Amino acid sequence: MQTYFQSLNYTMANEDTTLEYKLAATLGAKNILTVGGSGSRALPFLALPLNQLRIVDISADQILLIKFKLETIRQLSHADTLTFWTSSEAPQRAMILKKMNLEDNLKAFYQYHSRNNPQSAPLYWGKWEKTFQTFSKITQFLFPNKIREGLFSTSNPYGYYEKHIKGFRWNLLLKIVGNKAMFNSLLYKGSFIIKNSPLSYFDFYSQAFDRLFRLDIQRSHFLQLCFCGKVLQNEALPIEFHPDIFEKIKASKVNPIYQQGSIFERVEDTQYDLISLSDVPSYLSGSLEQNYIQILAKNVALSGIVVNRFYLRSSENTNLSGFQEITNDHKLIIEEELVQMYDVQLLKKV
């Protein structure tokens, strides 16, 4: 895990965090603790009437990215923010950047990654986003003329997928790309999850995509990244870029508390109403995998929720005492999630 999570791995999002955002809104959460990632799982919470948002990530670069993203939202108009994150033209971004007042470390962060990614928009600078851009080259090769003109133009994408995509080529693609060896060589450098899902890799990905094609793919940044190498329209961008959420984040007076390190090693006494762990628990093993919920428990308010997203591995032998699983109470929000690669688990402190 350590090797993989040490640089800029995520810049857009590998999840649709509408799920956690809606949960927090429904529960009226006031104090939230979240893993950082691309910021897409953390910043939308600022659109809610919070007391405290604590953002923890073991990667210094992910924290800088989140701070930088929040400054763009706070200091720029919606139009400039969208142009900035989606433009591959460095001079165009430099013009917009001139409107901002940034601390030196954020300027240096931006300039370093901009130089290293001369052809690409900041939204796609993460290693995870680059991996799926590579995947999109294969999908476009295997399904020429079937993607923008077909899949993303039809009023019945599931029907289109069944007729033109599902089948021998699609299965071959999932078999070649969707496995541990490929993900380790492309992205995880040996730190890929130790799977315990009862499904084979092929069945896991095949079923996940099948669910995804049934949803509103015009709003799925993930499906568009897989098939087109980029987000096709603004409505598919991660939710911090949606106009209503964007304006509420901008108006928020809450300054997030940032913390570099493991979310399981914090010492402080806040009682959180919601703890959003992303798929971090899928990377755990041994005694931490067994005890992480109890480690967090003292910082969870009564009736507070812990949100897990298991990816290929659900936590094994984890001590859940003091918590009740309430996943089924929020089935609808989970089914609407627009990446569909996760088994969501919601635990409520009782």
Ligand X SMILES: C[S@@+](CC[C@H](N)C(=O)[O-])C[C@H]1O[C@@H](n2cnc3c(N)ncnc32)[C@H](O)[C@@H]1O
Q: Considering the complex, what minimum distance in angstroms separates the CB of residue 57 from ligand X? A: 4
Q: Considering the complex, what minimum distance in angstroms separates the CB of residue 126 from ligand X? A: 8
Nearer to ligand X, 65 or 97 (CB): 65
Please identify which residue in the block is written with the tokens 């895990």. 1
CA dihedral 265, 266, 269, 270 (to 10 degrees): -120
Nearer to ligand X, 246 or 283 (CB): 283
Rounded to 5 degrees, φ, ψ at 117 are -130, 60
Pairing mode, strands 343-349 and 300-310: antiparallel
Nearer to ligand X, 5 or 85 (CB): 5
Q: Considering the complex, what minimum distance in angstroms separates the CB of residue 327 from ligand X? A: 18
Q: Considering the complex, what minimum distance in angstroms separates the CB of residue 197 from ligand X? A: 16
Nearer to ligand X, 19 or 96 (CB): 19
CA distance 316 to 165: 36
CA distance 202 to 156: 25
Q: Considering the complex, what minimum distance in angstroms separates the CB of residue 136 from ligand X? A: 18
Nearer to ligand X, 31 or 308 (CB): 308
Contacts 24+ apart (CB under 8 A), 142-148: 142/169, 142/170, 142/173, 143/169, 143/227, 147/227, 147/228, 148/228, 148/232
Cβ-closest position to ligand X: 37
Residues that bind ligand X (CB under 6 A): 5, 9-10, 13-15, 35-38, 40-41, 56-59, 62, 262-264, 278-280
